[in-house]
Amino acid sequence: MSDKEYTAGDHIEAKCTKCKDVTNHTIVAMVDDKPAKVECNTCSGIHKYRSPTTKKAAAKSRTSATKAAKINKIETEWEDLVQGADPTTATTYSMKMSVKNGELINHPSFGIGRVISVTKPNKMEIFFRDGVKLLRCAIG
């Protein structure tokens, strides 16, 4: 049905903001073979054509699902990294701390993480539950 070619004057189902419903409309103007302006047969209001299907909402939920999957992946990697580690042995983070690669860090905001790389003179990357953070440190 979506393959039907419309012309001005045709009847089409569209969303009406006044009726707050999908109602029958008459096409007033076409742009690129698609209805652009429609007249509501219920309230006679003329407005932009809105598809009765909620394509936008579907696309949006797909995006957040992808995002959730990505976060899940990070959490799984993080769990692998800190697995078996005793959180009580984690070093509390401070900017002046001296770290080694692989050290377990307890950060006041990010939580438990593991040092995955250290860069001279004073930077380290730590893998926390919500991803990798670049933090300052002293290299031991």
- Encode burial over 1-35: b for 16+ CB neighbours within 10 A, e otherwise: eeeeeeeeeeebebbbeeeeeebebbbeebeeeeb
Is residue 27 within the footprint of Zn ion (CB under 5 A)?
no
Nearest distance from C-beta of residue 17 to Zn ion, angstroms = 8
HEC readout, 56-103:
HHHHHHHHHHHHHHHHHHHHHHHHHHHCCCCHHHCEECCCCCEECCCC
Is residue 18 within the footprint of Zn ion (CB under 5 A)?
yes
Is residue 46 within the footprint of Zn ion (CB under 5 A)?
no
Is residue 42 within the footprint of Zn ion (CB under 5 A)?
yes
Is residue 17 within the footprint of Zn ion (CB under 5 A)?
no
Is residue 16 within the footprint of Zn ion (CB under 5 A)?
yes
Please identify which residue in 29, 36, 43, 58 interacts with Zn ion, judged by CB under 5 A: 43
Residues that bind Zn ion (CB under 5 A): 16, 18-19, 40, 42-43, 45
